Structure 1
Amino acid sequence: MIEIHNVSKKFGNALSLDNLSLTFKKDDCIALMGPNGAGKTTLIRLILGYYHPNSGTVLVNGLNPIQERIRVLQNISFVPQLPPPIKLNLDELISYACKSTKIEKNAILHFAKEMEFDLEPNLNKSFFKLSGGMKQKMLIAISLARQSDIIIYDEPTANLDPKARDNFHRLLKNETRSKIALFVTHRLDEMKELVNRQIYMDLGKVLTDEPL
């Protein structure tokens, strides 16, 4: 469970989240929507422990993501909109992912293949030098291989071509484990078959929170 109670977050004089309260439970599949600057990314980074709230509390499975960040992140798979500047080659990245999250290399290879990304001839390539679409496929493969209790995707299809988007949606539809899935998206039409809840934010507040 993710519990957000009366959370506010400022950057200088700019209020990014304004006394926000939300609860996400197992089997919630949420489309988190709103214009740029609504506070969506700030909310995600608070859940991940990247930011301290100015007021209020954030709990992930009862744990404070600042104080217990390692334990919190063990249960979360996160794919950002902009892939991080990882300087490892793909073989090194896979090894790191396997050691740090206790997943099998074959699981990553399987999901990469399902995303139509052939890893074997690319293992010596630097992640940093890959195209945006290839980076996204790599991160998606790792996230799906982890089988996490919480998955968070920030505009996951932004860098994917239509076929890769179809593959991504197919894999998520086939993923029937009980979990929390949070999708930051501007494309509800793409996600409507995957989500059961829509939250629309603006100016740091929740304007609507409806089942689908």
Structure 2
Amino acid sequence: MLEVSELTKIYREGRGIRNLSFQMNSGTTFGFLGPNGAGKTTTIRLLMGFMKPDQGSARIWGLDCWKNRTELKSIVSYLPGELHFIEQQTGQEFLDLIEGMHGERRDIKRNQIELLRSLELDPKQRIRKMSKGMKQKLGIVAAFMLDSQVLILDEPTSGLDPLMQKTFVELILEEKKKGKTIFMSSHQFSEIERTCEQAAIIREGELLNIQDVASLKRNERQTFEVEVEGEEDAEFLRQSGLTIYALGKSRFTIILADKQELLWKTLAQIHVKRFKQGTLELEEAFMQYYR
């Protein structure tokens, strides 16, 4: 459904993206992970036909994203990473403007009402008085109410509080049930993990890897950092049968796939000075590419 082949765009200062190639199937959600400045937004702007690539190509449903950029807008909804509005308008006036550009369909109005309720947004307020989070909600409503088969979202939860981030994840899951195809950039691992079948890592404009999220989940493990009182406790930990790595004389990392009962029994028999749960290996598998 979406195919990127050796896509390249280099800016004057040398930053940009180089030779990106990946494919995405219809009806799936694809996560695009990377730190700020990695090239996520540049890739999305090329997918939307806002810029001409230096080389390579991108296609959505067979349409070339540059040559057929006008036709592309009829099948794709877009949420930009940086939102710009007509600040004098109310939220409702802005949504009415977007609705009018798409033929004032009855289903758009119905979707709009449901989205406003879910995101707890009052559209009567003038946009210039809205907080960053409220403006982000308005952008989400404008993108999702069109009920397009393809959604391209650039940092969609930027500015949202944790409760609204959870609501947004639930919204994505609902769209997936409808068979929508969703391309979503983010630097928040948790929302990618919960919503995507595949995720790609981009760093300094280069695609480092594409991972199947489900296969990683099947093999995910947890890590714990433990500091014990003395050598006797350390030796007991070494002989426990747990998978451990020494960080010092009395500090250890414990890697756990199962055997949780063994972990708690072991810790109950020694003097623990410090105990900290680390990141899931699933997240760590991606974070190593950042480092």
- TM-score (norm. length: structure 2): 0.67
Of the two structures, which has the highest relative contact order with CA contacts closer than 8 Å and spacing of 6 or more?
1
Pairwise CA distance, 1:209 = 0.4
Pairwise CA distance, 1:35 = 2.2
Aligned to 1:114: 118
Aligned to 1:36: 36
Pairwise CA distance, 1:15 = 4.3
CA RMSD of aligned residues (A): 1.7
Structure 1 residue ranges without an equivalent (≥5): none
Aligned to 2:25: 25
Q: Which amino acid aligns with 2:110?
A: N
SS at match of 2:94: helix
Distance 1:84 1:136 in 2: 10
18-27 or 83-92: which moved more?
83-92
Give deviations 1:153-206, integer Å, cap 9, x for gaps. Answer: 211112111221121112222221222211211111233121111100112221
1:167-186 mapped onto 2 (5 Å cutoff): 167-175=167-175, 176-186=177-187
Q: Structure 2 vs 1, CA of residues 86 and 25 (structure 1 numbering), >3 Å: closer, same or farther?
A: farther
Aligned to 2:63: 63
Distance 1:118 1:8 in 2: 41
Q: Which amino acid aligns with 1:178?
A: G
Q: Which amino acid aligns with 1:26?
A: S
Q: Which amino acid aligns with 2:53?
A: P
SS at match of 1:21: strand
SS at match of 1:96: helix
1:116-195 mapped onto 2 (5 Å cutoff): 116-119=120-123, 122=124, 125-175=125-175, 176-195=177-196
Q: Which amino acid aligns with 1:69?
A: R
Q: Which amino acid aligns with 2:96?
A: S
For this pair of structures, how many residues does the alignment match? 208
SS at match of 2:156: coil
Identity of aligned residues (%): 27
Q: Structure 2 vs 1, CA of residues 191 and 13 (structure 1 numbering), >3 Å: closer, same or farther?
A: closer
62-71 or 49-58: which moved more?
62-71
SS at match of 2:63: coil
Q: Structure 2 vs 1, CA of residues 22 and 90 (structure 1 numbering), >3 Å: closer, same or farther?
A: same
SS at match of 1:146: coil
Pairwise CA distance, 1:13 = 4.7
Aligned to 1:98: 99
37-46 or 136-145: which moved more?
136-145
Which stretches of structure 1, 4 residues or longer, exceed 6 Å deviation after superposition?
A: none
